[in-house]
């Protein structure tokens, strides 16, 4: 199995670097969720060998709509590294991306190590700050076809992200208006309530899952709490911005075209 884990991780890593999609891995040989996280970890190991630094986690399937669509009842997580971060206002070259999409998110910075399941109130007290964010997701699977295990192995479709200005950790988060704009035109409208009714629930849920998996998250980690609207496909030459009422905005531009 170790060979299988490593070869899947290498295949996904090459697809990420070249922009050439791969077929669904689980169609070749089924694997379970624990093995999917081992493939994800092996892929992050390859990034770290190239000098990338772990920054935190992104959470997926934090909206009820996506859970119903995928037939799952728990969130999933992927790893974020410094190489995935774009400066606020920066440029994303689409050249090596396969089918990139963008979704508005809320980012958390943790104030303390997360090493046990947190209650909702404890989750609020575990933060150093919150910020508006944009996540660029890009599945490495051909035709966007994957199972739950495939997407976890593929680091939950992580590609890039932008984090806006930090607000104090006690900023209210439960029902903030979210507007995603392309070239100033609204393309998605939503509410932070789409993230599990209250984005802090995402931290509460992941704290329990991490504990069950025997993992801790260091203080100062970045967490992307999950999408507040559906994701929008990206194309070259766009100015993309998100505005979250009470938290502010962040943005980036695209150049080149997807693979």
- Interface residues with Mg ion (CB under 5 A)? 135, 227
Choose between 27 and 125: whose C-beta lies nearer to ligand 0L1.
27
Distance CA(155)–CA(54), nearest Å, equals 13
> Which does residue 156 touch among Mg ion, ligand 0L1, none (CB within 5 to 8 A, set by kind)?
ligand 0L1
Residue 201 has, within 13 A of its CA and on its CB side, a CA count of: 16
**227 touches ligand 0L1 (CB under 6 A):** yes
Q: Find the radius of gyration of the CA atoms of the chain.
A: 17
Residue nearest to Mg ion (CB): 135
CB 186 to ligand 0L1: min, Å: 21
Q: Sign (positive/negative) of CA torsion 117, 123, 129, 135? A: positive
> Which does residue 151 touch among Mg ion, ligand 0L1, none (CB within 5 to 8 A, set by kind)?
ligand 0L1
Distance CA(188)–CA(245), nearest Å, equals 14
Choose between 57 and 200: whose C-beta lies nearer to ligand 0L1.
57
- Residues 212, 123 contacting (CB under 8 angstroms): no
* DSSP assignments along 150-216, one per residue: HHHHTGGGEEEEEE---B-TT---TT-EEEEEETTEEEEEEEGGGTTTSTHHHHHHHHHHHHHTT--
- Residues 213, 41 contacting (CB under 8 angstroms): no
Residues 60, 63, 68: CA angle, nearest 5 degrees:
100
**242 touches ligand 0L1 (CB under 6 A):** no
- Contact pick of 137, 178, 203, 204 for ligand 0L1 (by CB under 6 A): 137
CB 158 to ligand 0L1: min, Å: 7
Binding mask 147-186 for ligand 0L1 (x = CB under 6 A): ----x----xx-----------------------------
Distance CA(180)–CA(102), nearest Å, equals 9
CB 99 to ligand 0L1: min, Å: 9
Applying CB under 6 A, the span of 9-17, 20-28, 132-140, 162-170 interacting with ligand 0L1 comes to: 132-140
Could you identify the residue written with the tokens 């599990």?
A: 196
CB 137 to ligand 0L1: min, Å: 5
Lookup: tokens for 58: 């992104």
**15 touches ligand 0L1 (CB under 6 A):** no
Choose between 157 and 188: whose C-beta lies nearer to ligand 0L1.
157
> Which does residue 47 touch among Mg ion, ligand 0L1, none (CB within 5 to 8 A, set by kind)?
none
Contact residues for ligand 0L1, defined by CB under 6 A:
58, 60, 135, 137, 139, 151, 156-157, 226-227
């Amino acid at each position: 199995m170790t060979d299988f884990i490593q070869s899947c991780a290498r295949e996904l890593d090459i697809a990420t670097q070249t922009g050439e999609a791969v077929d669904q891995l689980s169609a070749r040989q089924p694997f379970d969720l624990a093995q999917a996280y081992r493939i994800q970890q092996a892929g992050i190991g390859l990034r770290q060998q190239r000098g990338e630094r772990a920054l935190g986690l992104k959470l997926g399937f934090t909206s009820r709509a996506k859970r119903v669509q995928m037939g799952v009842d728990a969130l999933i997580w992927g790893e974020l590294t410094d190489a995935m971060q774009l400066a606020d206002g920066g440029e994303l070259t689409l050249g090596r991306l396969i089918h990139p999409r963008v979704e508005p998110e809320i980012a958390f910075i943790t104030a303390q190590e997360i090493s046990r399941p947190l209650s909702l109130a404890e989750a609020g007290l575990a933060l150093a700050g919150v910020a508006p964010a944009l996540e660029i997701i890009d599945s490495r699977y051909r035709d966007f076809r994957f199972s739950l295990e495939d997407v976890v192995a593929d680091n939950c479709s992580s590609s890039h992200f932008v984090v806006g200005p930090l607000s104090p950790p006690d900023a209210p988060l439960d029902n903030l208006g979210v507007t995603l704009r392309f070239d100033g035109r609204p393309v998605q409208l939503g509410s932070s309530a789409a993230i599990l009714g209250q984005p802090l629930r995402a931290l509460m849920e992941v704290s329990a899952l991490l504990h069950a998996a025997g993992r801790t998250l260091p203080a100062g980690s970045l967490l992307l709490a999950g999408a507040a609207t559906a994701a929008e496909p990206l194309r070259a030459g766009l100015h993309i911005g998100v505005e979250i009422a009470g938290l502010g905005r962040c943005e980036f531009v695209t150049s080149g075209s997807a693979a």
